[in-house]
Structure 1
């Protein structure tokens, strides 16, 4: 049988057929499109850039910015003014009535108020600025109660000044004014220049003078460097600058042994510890000279 396809025509068609293999650039482009980085860029990078651009363009409008700020402020206000965040009451604990009243007067907020609007550190500092307050702790407890726990300064002495008496603690901080001595009979009275700067030493002297508590009237700071112990019947114990407590204890021992302070003595001078000196009252001195002169006259006869 004869073939229906001419051999010459078949040869020409086979020679004109194109090569199916891709070109070099097409191959490289296909490899790039198949890389994970390019696929992530198409999936995430381009959508993100488009969204960011559109959002930036939209938010650049001042009217949109103002509406957004108002919406955020409204949401914040709604959260902060919820009942569980509101402070309705204030409790002052550990303070006397007078100090508690001063704490309430120094409170800078009007209740009820949101706890978010309160600066608790500022409240604590304001409370600790009150002279009678040594330390304070501030916290908001459950139930919307602002608790202020106070440690008051302990009165240690009365300082006599030209205007009257001032109550002070051991650190020399003025706490209050006293109209008269009878308001605080439990506190020693100190006077003299520099007395407020040596209160701890005065308290130590007062503790050592416990056997003389019934006769003790006060302590006087002399020359801003030493103390005089003032007793009733116009008697004084002049203490040295160094180790005044020990010197006072020596005077008490001598008095208990020989009733020294029960006699007509005006002062016991302990400023020189190795040579104590007694100064008699004027009347006792006159009587002593009279007795001595009489004894001298009797001896002459």
Structure 2
């Protein structure tokens, strides 16, 4: 009996506290930052990816998911607070207003998610008469378009007909006839549309002769002629044309130059201005000279 108890005590010896080899390696891996990151992030992502691939691998599942997404999107986009019901245009003349409504045809009501506001703004800004445009959706479902129009400064008679230009030479619109805008100065000649700022300076300098100025003619794309009534012309130089016309006006004040029977006042050489008399003036001058010479020979 004693021998059996002794044997039992030998068989129930204390368990070794050391971990197994597999447990030891697992504990070591848990101490590795990369492995902990894999367990926390990589493993859930991998499981989710595998589940997603399993679900999306079925065509019926893909169609059902796409249909559901479309339904959710439509339910959001078609909510009353996102619907645009009308268009308002401010800052545009009736003609430009009509042009904008023609190039931006919209069937209301329409979801604001279906509107490309930037593309719409660029389309409106391409109109000749529009200097800038701003497009936004206003509270109450209003598509608000604010327009700043170009201001016509001159009338240009070019190869395409009579047109309006702004102070930079940009086209504003077409005219049927010059008589539609008698309040604006007239430009003609090749290249005149490229020198509108200089032309405006000349019109400002020629203000004392404004009632007689009919327009400016661009000559050789490099200089101007001032066309006056009574078929008179002032030929301006390529450089400093404003100074030249101011000199002509000064001579007119002193010597009443423009009232004389002249056809051309040539200022191209400012050191030696020249004038060309009208045919009637030349005939009269010859007659007077003939009388003077006849009197001296008698």
The TM-score, its normalising length taken from structure 1, stands at 0.88
CA gap of 1:284–1:20, structure 2 versus 1, over 3 A, is same
Instruction: Report the alpha carbon displacement of residue 263 of structure 1 after superposing the two structures with TM.
Output: 1.0
CA gap of 1:198–1:39, structure 2 versus 1, over 3 A, is closer
SS class of match (2:153): strand
1:168-187 deviation digits (Å, cap 9, x = unpaired)? 22333332222222210111
Residue 178 of structure 1 is matched in structure 2 by 175
Superposition RMSD in Å: 2.8
Deviates more, 1:286-295 or 1:16-25: 16-25
Question: Is the CA contact (8 Å cut-off) linking 2:138 and 2:144 kept in structure 1?
Answer: yes
State the distance in 1 between where 2:249 and 2:41 align: 95
Question: Is the CA contact (8 Å cut-off) linking 1:33 and 1:39 kept in structure 2?
Answer: no
State the distance in 2 between where 1:80 and 1:254 align: 74
Residue 12 of structure 2 is matched in structure 1 by 18
Residue 64 of structure 1 is matched in structure 2 by 61
Out of 224, 228, 236, the position equivalent to 1:227 is: 224
SS class of match (1:214): coil
Residue 3 of structure 1 is matched in structure 2 by none
Question: Is the CA contact (8 Å cut-off) linking 1:215 and 1:231 kept in structure 2?
Answer: yes
State the distance in 2 between where 1:266 and 1:30 align: 115
Residue 114 of structure 1 is matched in structure 2 by 111
- Are residue 83 (structure 1) and residue 80 (structure 2) matched? yes
State the distance in 2 between where 1:158 and 1:207 align: 16
Out of 139, 142, 146, the position equivalent to 2:139 is: 142
Residue 254 of structure 2 is matched in structure 1 by 257
- Are residue 98 (structure 1) and residue 128 (structure 2) matched? no
Instruction: Report the alpha carbon displacement of residue 109 of structure 1 after superposing the two structures with TM.
Output: 2.9
Which consecutive residues of structure 2, in runs of 5 or more, have no partner in the other structure? none
CA gap of 1:26–1:243, structure 2 versus 1, over 3 A, is same
State the distance in 2 between where 1:103 and 1:265 align: 51
- Are residue 237 (structure 1) and residue 231 (structure 2) matched? no
- Are residue 130 (structure 1) and residue 133 (structure 2) matched? no
Out of 204, 214, 233, the position equivalent to 2:201 is: 204
Out of 287, 292, 295, the position equivalent to 1:295 is: 292
Tell me how many residue pairs correspond in the alignment: 295
CA gap of 1:31–1:261, structure 2 versus 1, over 3 A, is closer
Instruction: Report the alpha carbon displacement of residue 62 of structure 1 after superposing the two structures with TM.
Output: 0.8
State the distance in 2 between where 1:41 and 1:201 align: 74
CA gap of 1:230–1:39, structure 2 versus 1, over 3 A, is closer
The TM-score, its normalising length taken from structure 2, stands at 0.89
CA gap of 1:66–1:289, structure 2 versus 1, over 3 A, is same
CA gap of 1:23–1:285, structure 2 versus 1, over 3 A, is same
Residue 157 of structure 2 is matched in structure 1 by 160
Instruction: Report the alpha carbon displacement of residue 152 of structure 1 after superposing the two structures with TM.
Output: 1.1
State the distance in 1 between where 2:37 and 2:269 align: 97
CA gap of 1:186–1:59, structure 2 versus 1, over 3 A, is same
Deviates more, 1:80-89 or 1:40-49: 40-49
Which consecutive residues of structure 1, in runs of 5 or more, have no partner in the other structure? 1-5
Deviates more, 1:176-185 or 1:70-79: 176-185
